[in-house]
Amino acid sequence: MRIVVIDGQGGGMGKSIIENIRKKYHDSEIIAVGTNSLATSAMLRAGASAGATGENAVIFNCGEADIIAGPVGICFANSMHGEISPAMASAISSSRAEKILIPMSKCHAHIIGIAERSFGSYIEEMMEKLESIMR
């Protein structure tokens, strides 16, 4: 399975996602795709198999992914302070990959039915969902 983790800003959320996936799935192919080099670097240090940066990297890797993980904002054009271009959001949302998205309030999207919880509890739930997909 090819898992593509997408993040922007400082890459902190992507870093945590990759660290948790790597602990459980040692041999998984995890591709870190950052909207900027700082995010990509943080995710590579967390244990990603490979990394790439920028709009074309997002578009290309979404087409190759089995699973895409990251903050929910990656699906919204111009979110994350403009780091997500319309082409990136389109590539992510139209990819045939399973998507595991972590809610965050900074993207101005409020998903009804999702309770505000700690980031750690979202990571735990993400790992449970990942396990059910990888079976």
- The encoded tokens of residue 52 equal 């790439």
**Which amino acid belongs to residue 116?**
E
**pLDDT tens column, 9-58:** 999 999 999 999 999 999 999 999 999 999 999 999 999 999 999 999 99
Identify the pLDDT of residue 38: 98
Say which CATH number the domain at 106 has. Answer: 3.40.50
How many domains does the chain contain in total?
1
Q: What average pLDDT does the segment 104-128 reach? A: 84
Identify the pLDDT of residue 135: 82
Q: Which residue range(s) make up the domain with 19?
A: 2-134
Q: Residue 107 — pLDDT band, cuts 50, 70, 90?
A: low
DSSP states along the chain: -EEEEEE-TT-HHHHHHHHHHHHH-TT-EEEEEESSHHHHHHHHHTT-SEEEESHHHHHHHHHH-SEEEEEGGGGSTTHHHHTS-HHHHHHHHH-SSEEEEE--GGGS---TT-----HHHHHHHHHHHHHHHH-
